Structure 1
Amino acid sequence: MSFPVDTSQYRVTIVIPAFNASATLARALQSALAQTHRGIEVLVVDDCSTDSTLGVARQFAGQDGRVRVIERPHNSGGCGAPATTASKPPPASS
């Protein structure tokens, strides 16, 4: 048995990890913001970029309240690094 679902009540978060992505970030943000679901937020996680990625992200955030920027203070080593680090077993105690 299925019930009609009102998806307008759901909030969807789109996470865009970015490192030196100034050449492609605007296109990714435009695509995310063009989604038909109205209840979205877009989080750009800048991984300590050395190009203008952070500036592009901040420009979009200044123009559209659905965009938020998270600036990492140190490079994580790749988009999978935090998950990989978290899944490692703790060091053996002696």
Structure 2
Amino acid sequence: MATNLTLEALPQAVPDPDPVQPPGTEGFTTMMGWARWVALAVCILGLFAAGALMAIQSRRGEGGEHVGKIGMALGGVIVISAGASLVGFLVS
């Protein structure tokens, strides 16, 4: 039995359920929060280390080499934040 749907009725036929967190996943969200906190703390420590090395080695003319390390640390912050937002959207 085939249903004849017109193009105008198609958006009405697509279900759009509200996202609901499955039961028993409260521990998972707690662990994800801890993992996000630790990962961002490591990125901040990496920025501190790269800045300190940049300041120490600036007299020798080697300070520019650490710009890549700062970029990688900031890239890590972006990836961690995007992942945490995605998981937060899917779980909530």
TM-score range for the pair, normalised by the shorter chain length: under 0.3
Normalised by the size of structure 2, how large is the TM-score?
0.27
Question: Relative to total residues, which structure has the larger helix share, 1 or 2?
Answer: 2
Normalised by the size of structure 1, how large is the TM-score?
0.27
